Each structure stands twice: as C-alpha cells, then as structure tokens.
Amino acid sequence: MKRNIARRLVISAASLAALILLIQLIPVERTNPPVEADLVAPDAVKDIFRRACYDCHSHETRWPWYGRVAPFSWWLAGHVTEGRADLNFSRWPLFDFEARELILRDIEKQLVDGTMPLRSYVLGHREARLSDRDRQVLLEWVRAGY
C-alpha cells in the first residue's frame, strides 16, 4: 500500500517535470521594437517614468531572466503586450492633442488610485516604488498638460 503511494508520487512528480519542460517549447514574444518617439518630459519626470513604468509601457523593456521560463514568461509577456497597448512611452503622441490629453488623464487616474505600477511588479522591483514625492512630481506634470 505504502509502496503504491510512493510510486504514484514519483509518477506525478515526473509528469509535472515533463509538463514544465514541454511548455518551455511554446514560443513567447519578448520583443523590443525600435523606439519611434520617446516621451518628451523634464529629466526629473522622465526618470520616474523610466524606473517605474518603462518595463511595461515602452519598447525598452528590461526582460528579466525569469521572463524566459514558462509559465512566468507568459504572464510577463502578457503584461508588456497589454501595457504597451494602453500606454506606450516609445510612441509618444507628440502632435495629437486629443490623444495626449486622454493619455494624461488616464495616467493621472492611475496615480491617484495607486493602481500603477502593478503591485506584483513592485514586489520584485523596489526601484519602481513611487514615493509620495515621486507621485507628486508626476501628478504636477500630468496636470500641467506639459
């Protein structure tokens, strides 16, 4: 009886290991396309966006080593794809006033609500944590419409 349980455990562990190896074969896009029009902002503002937002909202993502291992890679790539689709600092709308206004209001909302950067990301990236002062600097810039 005990032996049966042990055997089953070994088989389950082996199947799980095989599955983990297999899912590594599924291709995941980890792209950094060329920067088309980088965000234009004073250095003090841009530095904060760079360290807290650029990994998911630009074409300058620093892909970490664990971003190569499935299933984390799927999760990470999903964040970057969704993040870039909503807000992309590498495609900054320099001339389109309306689009710029919409994006600024959206950023303002995320800052006020404290929903960005994503909590799961800040856990592993302490440098991305926004201090009250950082938040203030960004909010002033966003509200000024720059």
Give residues in contact with ligand HEC (CB under 6 A).
Answer: 52-53, 55-57, 79, 82-83, 86-87, 106-107, 110, 116-118, 121, 128
Cα separation of 112 and 114, whole Å? Answer: 5
Residue 86: CB minimum distance to ligand HEC, A: 4
Output 13 or 140, the one with its CB closest to ligand HEC: 140
Cβ proximity of 105 and 98 under 8 Å: no
Kindly state the tokens that stand for 38. 């980088």
Residue 55: CB minimum distance to ligand HEC, A: 5
Output 17 or 145, the one with its CB closest to ligand HEC: 145
Kindly state the tokens that stand for 69. 């291992």
Output 4 or 127, the one with its CB closest to ligand HEC: 127
Cα separation of 11 and 135, whole Å? Answer: 52
Residue 111: CB minimum distance to ligand HEC, A: 6
Residue 144: CB minimum distance to ligand HEC, A: 16
Output 41 or 107, the one with its CB closest to ligand HEC: 107
User: How many CA atoms lie within 13 Å of 13's alpha carbon, on the beta-carbon side?
Assistant: 6
Query: What Cα–Cα distance (Å) separates residue 8 from each residue in 22, 54, 86?
Result: 21, 46, 47
